[in-house]
Structures are given as C-alpha cells and as structure tokens.
Structure 1
Amino acid sequence: MAIVWATNNDLEWINEQYKKVDFMPSYLENERIAIVTYKEEYAGLGRILYVNEDEAEIGGIYVLEAFRGISLAYELVDSLVQETKNSNLKEVYCLPFEELRSFYEKFGFKEVDYKHKTINNIIIKKYHWCLDHYDKKVLLLTL
C-alpha cells in the first residue's frame, strides 16, 4: 500500500472513478488528490479541496470494489488528515454519508450544526447540494 499525489496525467482516471459513484469531478486547481495504491495498482482516491488559505474540505473518498476490506480507506483518510494538519488550516470540513460517522470520528471529526456556527458559504452550498442530490443522509463534520 502506498499513497501517491495525483498529477494532471491522473485526472482522467480520477474523474472516471468519481463519475461511477456520482461525486463531483476534480480539476486540481485548488485540490490535492491522493491516490492509494495496492500492489502497484490504483485502488482508491480522496481529495483535499482548499476553500481558501485557512479552510479545506476532505472528500471524494472512494476505494474501488476489488480493493475493499483491506483498510485502504483508513490509510487514505489518515494521509489526507495529516496533510491538512501539516498545512495548519484553521478549519477542515468533511461531508460523509451518515453511515460513515464512526469511521470519520476515528480521525477526530465531529458533527457541527451550521445554524449555530459560522461555516464557509462554499461548504454550505456543497452540503445543501449533497442533501438534495443523494438519497442518503449527509453529515457536516469538522476536524
């Protein structure tokens, strides 16, 4: 298992994966995308979307079916969380499906009530898009 950081050469593969699971596409301009490999094959991906110099969102976590059950998602999210901590961001958001709450809590994420806390408008818009777009409940978490 290894984590590699995506380049423009990976963008077509990345967006093919995101299209399969109906996630928003990536563009790399304000993102850092991690690709998890297993036995030198691309096995999954996740991204940090930099909202501004102080805030980011970790998302787009997806492990290909053939590689599930071997803790690759954990390694992937752990790498993304460490990257955000190394960047000294003031706020890191995550918008996972509700059934993934306990998984993200392992990394220190906590649910936030955006009605009682100021949240970046870009994140709020994406959160509402997710609520309208997916049949599953989506959470708004912060690190």
Structure 2
Amino acid sequence: MSIKRVTEAELAWVNRQYEQIGFMPSKLKNEIIAIVMSQGHYAGVGRLVMLNAHEAEMGGIYILDAFRGQSLAHELVSFLVEESKRQNLKTVYCIPFEELQHFYEKFGFHAFDASASNANPRILEKYHWCLKTYDKNVLLLKLTHDG
C-alpha cells in the first residue's frame, strides 16, 4: 500500500471514478488529491478541496470494489488529515453518508451544527446540495486543528 498525490496525467482517471459514483469532478487548481495504491494498482482516491487559506473540505473518499476490506480508506483519510496539518489548515469539514460517522470520528471529526453562524457558506451550500441529491442521509462533520 502506498499513497501519492495526483498529477495532471492522473486526473482523468480520478474523474472517471467520481463520475461512476455520482461525485463532483476534481480539478487540481484548488485541491489536494491523493490516490491510494495496492499492489501497484490504483485502488482508491480522496481529496481536500480548499475553501480558503484556513479551511478545506475532505471528500471524494472512494475505494474501488476490488480493493475493499484492506483498510485503504483508513490509510487515505489518515494521509489527508496529516496533509491538512502540513497545509496549516485550521478547519476541515467532511460531508459523509450517515453510516460513516463512527469511521470519521476516529480521526477527530465531530458533528457540526449547520445553523452555526461561523459555518463556511461554501460548505453549507454543498451540504444542502448533498441532502437533496443523495438517497442516503449525509452529515456535516468538522475537524479542528489547534495552533
């Protein structure tokens, strides 16, 4: 298992995966995108979308069916959390499906009230889009880095 940052040449592969599962496409301009590899094969993808200099959204976490059950999602989220620290981000939001709440809590994410006055407007817009778009319920989670 290894994790690498996506290059321009790999972006088409990333967006094919996202298109298949109904996720928004990625672009490198304001994103840090990571691919998790297993035995030399692309096994999954995830991203940090920069909202501003201090906030990002972690999302697009997807492990291909053939590679599930290998703890690759855990490795990928760990990598992105560490990357958010390297980028000196203060806040990382996440909008996972409800059944993934406990998974994300292991990394320090906690439920965040969408009506809070300090909520990033871009993340609120995406959260409400997800609530309308997906058949499954989604949550708004937040990770805060001190310092």
TM-score, scaled relative to structure 1? 0.98
Match for 2:137: what amino acid? Answer: K
Q: For each residue in 1:108-138, what CA deviation from the matched residue of structure 2 results, as whole angstroms up to 9, or x when unmatched?
A: 0000112134111110111011001001101
What pairs with 1:57-72 in structure 2 (closer than 5 Å)?
57-72=57-72
User: How many aligned residue pairs are there?
Assistant: 143
Residue 40 of structure 2 is matched in structure 1 by 40
Q: CA deviation at 1:50?
A: 0.5
Query: CA separation in 1, counterparts of 2:106 and 2:67?
Result: 21
Gaps of 5+ in 2: none
The offset of 1:85, in angstroms, is: 1.3
Provide structure 1 residue ranges, at least 5 long, that are not aligned to the other structure: none
Percentage of matched positions with identical amino acids: 57
Give the drift of 1:6.
0.1
Query: Deviation above 3 Å: which 4+ runs of structure 1?
Result: none
Give the RMSD, CA atoms, in angstroms.
0.7
In the other structure, the counterpart of 1:94 is: 94
Q: What pairs up with 1:1-143 in 2 under 5 angstroms?
A: 1-143=1-143
SS of 2:26 mapped into structure 1: coil
1:19-77 Cα distance to aligned partner (Å, 9 max, x none): 11100000111001000000010000000000110100100000000000010000000
TM-score, with normalisation over the residues of structure 2?
A: 0.95
